[in-house]
Amino acid sequence: MPDRIRTLKLSLAYLPLAVPISDAKVLTGRQRPLTQVALLFAEITTEAGFEGIGFSYSKRAGGPGLFAHAREIGGDVIGEDPSDIGKLDTLLVWAGASVGRSGLATQAIAAIDVALWDLKAKRASLPLAKLLGSHRDAVPCYNTSGGFLNAPIEEVLDNAAEAVERGIGGIKIKVGQPDQLADLARVEAVRSSLPESVALMVDANQQWDRGTALRMGRQLEPFGLVWIEEPLDAYDAAGHAMLSARLDTPIASGEMLTSVAEHRALISQNSVSFLQPDAPRVGGITPFLRILALADEAGLKVAPHFAMELHLHLAAAYPGEVWVEHFDWLEPLFNERLEIADGRMLVPDRPGIGVSLSDQARAWTVETATFGG
């Protein structure tokens, strides 16, 4: 007999950050500093007693919208077979298709989709990576959370040294300041402080135009960067393709895209060497796997954005070269911690994604909705 979904619980929580965070979008006046992250959690139980947990997120704005959209359509999964993840993805996408099949709508669906995959892996008593068909038990990792522009360079250097001491294999810092000489000085200071074996990446957060990006890319060549991330607007596939063709340093992008179709545009125009999809942003694991298939066919390297607790499993299941992003921001939400050694993040052997919500996550919850019973 097939199992059936008995209950779905949705929760909206706000994770406060210790200090306001700024990247180039703040310094150029496009956004205000980041002070909190909104989390949408989905918890599913079945008639046979299995449980799954998933999450999505939004920064600066959008949390209430994610919760509202998920609450409006989430009840449609009650009574359905949780194994039919593809069917349920289609059901939820089309339930809200009038507001689009990307953006906030897919990000709301993502929490439910991830919970279904977590449940499926738990029912098989396998880590999610093993269920998907892993290619490795550990993934090279780099730290981002220590390299934001609100931190003075001395703090960035201390953060980088601490990350390397913990066993992290790469450091990414933010660039894209109005003063491009300050960017170059920042990169030089970090590169000179790191052992040669430690990788270095930079992220401009979409703040350059094509001419500036080309000039900066050429000036950054001597530093041997693993990649330059989001040098241009995220939707400028042609511009990224131009940079990829004219620079030796690889180009990375994709984190801001919210659909398979948007990633297909980057891939088809040879815009990037590193594709950076984000499962919560594209609608969950189901569409993320479609993106991985496209990336693999194109021979691209993959470095999923943020949410290491989830993306570690997905990166481990990719056959090509991968990196996973170390961001410690979400750690207070979960009872478990990921292990790092020799520059790599180890895939946990716990079933499913391998996380459970902490008491702190429950305390930060501001709204819930439950379906079924």
> Would you say 221 is a known binding-site residue?
no
* Single-letter amino acid, residue 98: S
> Would you say 122 is a known binding-site residue?
no
Residue listed under structure tokens 């992003």: 325
> Would you say 120 is a known binding-site residue?
no
> Would you say 349 is a known binding-site residue?
no
> Would you say 301 is a known binding-site residue?
no
Rounded Cα gap, residues 351 and 43, in angstroms: 16
Active site residue 174: yes
Contact 22, 204 (CB under 8 A): no
Rounded Cα gap, residues 370 and 373, in angstroms: 8
Contact 104, 69 (CB under 8 A): yes
3-state SS assignment for residue 235: coil
Strands (E), 49-123: 51-59
Instruction: Give the active site residue among 122, 130, 174, 313.
Output: 174
Q: Count Cβ atoms within 10 A of the Cβ of residue 297 and give its class: 0-12 exposed, 13-18 middle, 19 or more buried.
A: exposed
> Would you say 9 is a known binding-site residue?
no
Active site residue 311: no
Rounded Cα gap, residues 347 and 350, in angstroms: 9
Rg (CA), the chain: 20
Instruction: Give the active site residue among 122, 305, 313, 326.
Output: 305
> Would you say 335 is a known binding-site residue?
no
- Binding-site residue numbers are 23-25, 59-60, 172, 203, 205, 229, 255, 325
- Binding-site residue numbers for Mg(2+) are 203, 229, 255
- Binding-site residue numbers for substrate are 23-25, 59-60, 172, 205, 325
Residues noted as catalytic: 174, 305
